[in-house]
Amino acid sequence: MNAQDNIPANQSLNAHQQSIVSISALTAVGDLEHLKSELNTGLDAGLTINEIKEVLVQLYAYCGFPRSLNAINTFMKVLEERKSKGITDVEGNQASPITSTANKYETGKKTLQALTGQEEKGPKTGANAFAPAIDTFLKEHLFADIFSRDVLTHQQRELATISVLSSLEGVSSQLQFHLAVGMNIGLTESQLKQVFSLIETHIGKKLAETAKNVLLKMGDKKL
């Protein structure tokens, strides 16, 4: 029996969520051979082609264009191979055009506030104050352009983000932020621990333990 077997069924990641975790983690580290296998698993589990595309496109914001593009090219090969075997995969919904004429910065700000559950007040601080352009790009592009797309839910997008950050070294502060967001929008502690179990399986024990410790310290701060 492994750690995942001890998680109550109603708090476990479903097959779609597990595939998002695995695909995101392997994309982040550039392990294309194992990614190919997990892309097949995700399709077999019922993720649509467009859902997986959307995950891979979003990941460029967290692990860079090269990793994202390599994963997309790998996915194209997987689909070609499946088609040659007579497998018909579900295309799924296309992303709806974003027709809002609202100010993109304000749209991103509202989305971020909904994700964190906290209203942004006062002057900019930290990196956002030191380099205001990064604040603009985060609000207008990441949280307006990307998070406004509707193929994936915000929870699925955060699950992908947490999986990437759990697979990379030196990003504990960013991981802590997104773990808090994930829990704010409905991911449970048990589900996050299952994410880390999948990280251990696909990426390694060291990074999985680092991610677990970030979550543990968050819990300690609430005491």
Domains and CATH numbers, the chain: 12-94+151-222 (1.20.1290.10)
Q: Is the pLDDT of residue 63 over 80?
A: yes
Amino acid in position 139:
K
pLDDT for 3: 36
Identify the band that residue 4 occupies on the pLDDT scale cut at 50, 70 and 90. Answer: very low
Q: List pLDDT tens digits, range 95-151.
A: 988 888 889 999 999 999 999 999 988 899 999 999 999 999 999 999 999 999 999
- Torsion, CA 130, CA 217, CA 15, CA 76, rounded to 10: 30
In 3D, which of 179, 143, 194, 153 has the Cα closest to residue 21? Answer: 194
Q: Quote the CA–CA distance of 84 and 94 in Å, as a whole number.
A: 24
Average pLDDT over residues 156-177: 98
Please say whether the beta carbons of 145 and 110 come within 8 A.
Answer: no
Of residues 101 and 26, more confidently modeled: 26
Average pLDDT over residues 33-61: 98
Radius of gyration of the chain (CA): 18
Average pLDDT over residues 189-212: 98
Percentage of residues in the chain having pLDDT higher than 90:
87
Half-sphere exposure of 188 (CA within 13 A, CB side): 11
